[in-house]
Amino acid sequence: MTAESLSRPVDPLSEAELKESSRKVGLLAFLSSVVMLFATFTAAFLVRRTGTDWKPLEMPEIMWISTWLLIGSSVTIEISRVTGRKMGLLVTLGLGLAFLFCQVKALSEMGGFSGALAENPHFSFIFVLLLVHALHLLGGIGGLFLTSLSSSRFGWVVTYWHFMGLVWIYVLVLLFLS
């Protein structure tokens, strides 16, 4: 959004260009919404952490692996975008699935859906935040799949994927390193 475009001195762009720029605006707005969602969880986390029953947990080793997987997937999607080869999207998708697998594994190692979830508030937050992030990532995986099938350009999915990677790193820092 530039001052120029806000005052609309000229014809709107061609239909394709308009679609493209609208997509950017919409995506930005959606990402703001996601930011607010995680900001809310952050506020809740910071408040709840001051409780007397707070028992901090160590970060499980496997989360390093999932983090590197997600970082790797951002690299592959970027390569795919630069080279224009859709094959890279499928690789990214695979890395995304591997990431989700590691997340599930991490959660079940820490106690899964059994008693631990209820007993340790730190784990409750880990569980909920991982779940919410995973659901958003699943949206990205769906997008990767559709984009790799269609003949159109890469669209929103690259930005979204990078963004969800950043969100994961943020979540990780918040949960374990803050």
Number of residues that bind another protein (CB under 8 A): 42
Q: Are 79 and 158 in contact (CB under 8 A)?
A: no
- Is residue 139 part of the contact set for another protein (CB under 8 A)? no
Question: Nearer Cβ to another protein, position 71 or 132?
Answer: 132
- Is residue 6 part of the contact set for another protein (CB under 8 A)? yes
Q: Which of 128, 145, 155, 176 binds another protein (CB under 8 A)?
A: 128
Window 41 to 80, contacts with another protein (CB under 8 A): 41, 43-44, 47-48, 51-54
Window 75 to 114, contacts with another protein (CB under 8 A): 113
Tell me the C-alpha distance between 165 and 111, whole Å: 25
Tell me the C-alpha distance between 175 and 135, whole Å: 18
Give the nearest distance from C-beta 35 to another protein in angstroms: 8
Give the nearest distance from C-beta 91 to another protein in angstroms: 28
Question: Nearer Cβ to another protein, position 51 or 84?
Answer: 51
The sign one gets for the Cα dihedral 121, 126, 129, 132 is negative
Please state, in angstroms and as integers, the Cα–Cα distance from residue 166 to each residue in 59, 99, 160, following that order: 18, 14, 10
Residue listed under structure tokens 């269609």: 150
Give the nearest distance from C-beta 40 to another protein in angstroms: 4
One character per residue 12-41, x = contact with another protein (rule: CB under 8 A):
x--x--x--xx--xx--xx-xxx-xx-xxx
Q: Are 38 and 167 in contact (CB under 8 A)?
A: yes
Q: Are 130 and 107 in contact (CB under 8 A)?
A: yes
Structure tokens at 73: 């997937």
Structure tokens at 85: 């080869």
List contacts with another protein (CB under 8 A). Answer: 1, 5-12, 15, 18, 21-22, 25-26, 29-30, 32-34, 36-37, 39-41, 43-44, 47-48, 51-54, 113, 117-119, 121, 124, 127-128, 132
